[in-house]
Chain A
Amino acid sequence: MRFRAQVVVSLKDGLLDPQGKAVEGSLPALGWTNVSDVRIGRYVELDVEAIDQDAAVSQVQAMAERLLSNPVIETFRIVEVSELVGLGSEDRS
C-alpha cells in the first residue's frame, strides 16, 4: 500500500527565528500592523510504501526524528499519513 505523508518541521519555541522576524518586520509596511510571532518552518511531503497505516506512520516518525528534523533545535508534527487509493505508482498529483 502506498501512503502520502505530510510533515511540518518548526524551530522550537524560545529559539529566535531570524526569517520569521524579518517577515514580521515587513508586514506592517504592507498595512498589516496586527501581526506578531511569525515563525517559519519547513513542510515535507513524501510517499511511502508500507504494509498498513501503522507501519507507514511509525516509519515517517522515525524518518522525521533521524533526518527531517534536528531534535536539538526543531520539533516536528506529522500532519497526515493517508493511503493513496487508485493511483499508479507513477502518479503524484
Chain B
Amino acid sequence: MTRKPRIGVVTFPGSLDDRDALRAVTSMGGEGVPLWHAEHELHGVEAVILPGGFSYGDYLRTGAIARFANVMDEIRMFADSGGPVVGICNGFQILCEAGMLPGALIRNRGLRFVCKIATIRVETSLSPLTEGLVAGEVLAVPVKHGEGQFVAEGRALQRIEDEGLVAFRYCAPDGMLDDDQNPNGATNAIAGVRNERGNVVGLMPHPEHAVDPDVGPTGGQPLIASLLSFALARV
C-alpha cells in the first residue's frame, strides 16, 4: 500500500470499541482518525466506522439517540456521495435507526447478553468490508451484545433477501447454516446487511477485535483490509 487510507472512527458518549477500531485500522496499515459526535466535521477521512458500545446509554432503543448526533449529518452526506460507512454492533444499530440500513436490531432471542466467538459466512462482495472476499468464505469473529437479533417485516425482509443485501450470516465452522450457531435468533441468521448502493454496511460481530493473533481469532483481518483498499480505491 503506497498511501495510508484515512479511516475515521466516531466516539459517541458511551462508545466502547472506538479505541480498538482505531488500533485495528492502524495495525492493518491505515491511519485511524478519531471523530467526535458533537462536531459537524469528518476531517477529510476516506471511510467512517461507527464503533460498538452503548451510545447514550442505549436509552429508548439502541442507537435511537445517537442517530441525531451532529456528526451523523455529515456521515449521511458522506454516504450519499458514495463514501464507505461501516457500523459495528452499536454502530450497526445506529445505522438501522437512521434508516441508512434496512431492518432493526432487537433483544436477543434468549434474552441474555452473548459473548463468544461466532463464525460468519460472507454473503456478498458488494460492501466496503467484503470487496476483496468471496461469497461463502467463513470467518471467526467475536460477538458481544444483548440486542443483536436482526428483524425486518415480511416485505422488507423479502427485499433484503431478493436484492442480495445480506452481507453476513451466522453459520457453523463449515459454512452451513445451523440454528445452534445463531447467537441471537437473528432472522434468516442475518449477522450483517448492506445498502443498495453497496457503500454502507453494518454487522453485529466485531472485526476490530479479531485482527491480532496474540489475543484470539483473526477473522477481522480480511474485513479491515477490504475496508482499507475500498477507501483507497475511491480516492
Contacts and interface: CB of A to CB of B under 8 A. Distances in A.
Given A15-B106, A16-B109, A18-B106, A73 B151 contact: yes
Interface residues of B, number: 23
Interface string A50-87: 00000000000000000110101100000000000000
B108 A18 contact: yes
B103 A72 contact: yes
A67 B107 CA distance: 19
9 contacts: A15-B151, A16-B185, A18-B110, A18-B185, A70-B104, A72-B102, A72-B153, A73-B104, A73-B151
A14 B154 contact: yes
B97 interface: yes
Interface of A: 11-12, 14-16, 18-19, 22, 67-68, 70, 72-73
Contact of B106 (A14, A22, A73): A73
Given A67-B60, A72-B103, 10 more contacts: A16-B151, A16-B185, A18-B110, A18-B185, A19-B111, A68-B60, A70-B61, A70-B104, A73-B106, A73-B151
Given A72-B104, A73-B153, A67 B64 contact: yes
A53 to B, nearest CB: 26
Contacts of B152: 72
A22 B110 CA distance: 9
Contact of A19 (B60, B107, B154, B185): B107
Contacts of A15: 106, 151, 153
A18 B110 CA distance: 7
Closest 5 CB pairs of A and B: A73-B104, A18-B107, A72-B104, A18-B111, A22-B111
A19 to B, nearest CB: 6
B96 interface: yes
